[in-house]
Amino acid sequence: MKDQINVTRSSMPEFEEFMAEIKELWDTHWLTNMGVKHKEFAKCLRNYLNVEMVTLLANGHLALECAIAAFDLQGEVITTPFTFASTTHAIVRNGLDPVFCDINEDDYTIDVEKIESLITEKTCAIVPVHLYGNVCDVETIEKIAKKYKLRVIYDAAHAFGVTVNNIGIGNFGDASTFSFHATKVFNTIEGGAVTYNNEQLKKTLYFLKNFGITGPESVEFIGGNAKMNEFQAAMGICNLRHIDAEIARRQQVVYRYKENLDNVKGIKLVKPQFGVKSNYAYFPIVFCGKVNLRDCVFDELELNNIIPRKYFYPLTTDYECYTNRFNSNLTPVAKNIADRVLTLPLYADLELKEVDRICGIIEKLL
């Protein structure tokens, strides 16, 4: 719908810019299998994220699934239920058992003070999730991982371009995975990547994403098909040229929201993290009053053709596919936030007058 304001809107380059970028594909007819655009984008991305190595994949979920598979893990993985389905599914689809740690009440990332109590002899890894452009306590997680000799694979789908004390977010843990879905701060239409600093991991990820093929007549591993195609890479090249300007415009929208809502009683906003340069991926608000207040605001905004999102609701532990397998009451903070959180529309092209209108509707209801 033309006048509908959705929770997000895809960033795109000018049509002529993208057409110029893909012109070469018509000349060569090379559309996939690590072509020229794939290689160029990988190089540009590595430089932008300031990481040693990067592997491009078809989407963010396969990036996470392949990253977990690459370490040949067995046993239990500590993670958070306050996340998108992909995080939990990637663990389960690798034959591993997720063990859910609660989140903290400040930025809704995994509560590092509760991780050690969940570690057993079966624990093999931690999969923390950076959230809304905020980041996990990477220093404490690293200390815990070293103490217990655990792998750390970050779900960094929300953290593209974020830095911690001027260090790119893709440098933490054994690997970090990114989503370049159309709804993200940075997109390649669909797409994803894994960042790391291990040469052997580079080889393993290549085999995992390309059927395990090691030569023209040799298949030494069991792999799948998770290759990023040339059109995705071309979109990535174009969007990467404009990403800093996109983030700056998103910042203006976030600041306008805060101007309107900072002192409004009944809602809680996430505070900026010290030393973290955010990408302003999402703008969540948490309602402090009655549980159904969030739903009332959601319905009223929808009546005004404004589509926010209950992000993340429900917890992954409450999904029908996991019925009787997990207990969301063991993560009470996550459950409480999930019942009360609402992410408001946020994208670079969102007009500030529309931000004011959204805030006005919320204030009137409260």
Query: Does the model's pTM come out above 0.85?
Result: yes
d(Cα 106, Cα 38) in Å, to the nearest integer? 39
Q: What is the pLDDT of residues 337-359, one digit of tens each?
A: 999 999 999 999 999 999 999 99
pLDDT band at 3 (very low <50, low <70, confident <90, very high): confident
Q: Same fold for the domain at 15-238 and the one at 243-365?
A: no
Tell me the per-residue pLDDT of 169-226, one tens digit each, with 9 for 90 and over: 999 999 999 999 999 999 999 999 999 999 999 999 999 999 999 999 999 999 999 9
Beta-carbon contacts of 366 under 8 Å, excluding residues fewer than 6 positions away, are 264, 265, 266, 267, 293
Least confident of 1-5, 145-149, 255-259: 1-5
Across the chain, the runs of DSSP E, i.e. the strands, are 53-57, 76-79, 97-100, 123-127, 151-155, 163-164, 167-168, 175-179, 192-196, 213-215, 218-219, 267-269, 276-277, 283-287, 341-344
Distance of CA 153 to the CA centre of its chain: 13
Assign 365 a pLDDT band (cuts: 50, 70, 90). Answer: very high
For 15-238, CATH number out of 3.40.50.1100, 3.40.640.10, 3.30.360.10, 3.30.230.70 equals 3.40.640.10
Q: Is 70 exceeded by the pLDDT of residue 113?
A: yes
Q: Which residue has the tokens 């690293």?
A: 142
Cβ–Cβ under 8 Å, residues 40 and 228: no
Band the pLDDT of 292: cuts 50, 70, 90. Answer: confident
pLDDT of residue 41: 98
Q: Looking at the domain that runs over 243-365, which CATH code has it been given?
A: 3.90.1150.10
Q: Give the pLDDT score at 289.
A: 78
Q: What's residue 322's pLDDT? A: 98
State how far the Cα of 293 lies from the Cα of 257, in Å rounded to an integer. 19
- pLDDT the model gives residue 290: 72
Percentage of the chain modeled with pLDDT above 90 = 98
Phi/psi-derived region of residue 189, left when phi > 0, alpha when psi is between -120 and 50, beta in every other case: left
Domain boundaries, the chain: 15-238, 243-365
Residues 142 and 152: their CA atoms lie apart, in Å, by: 8
Residue 333 has pLDDT above 70, yes or no: yes
pLDDT band at 2 (very low <50, low <70, confident <90, very high): low
What are the pLDDT digits (tens) for 44-102? 999 999 999 999 999 999 999 999 999 999 999 999 999 999 999 999 999 999 999 99
Q: Where are the alpha helices (DSSP H) in 12-77?
A: 15-28, 36-49, 60-70
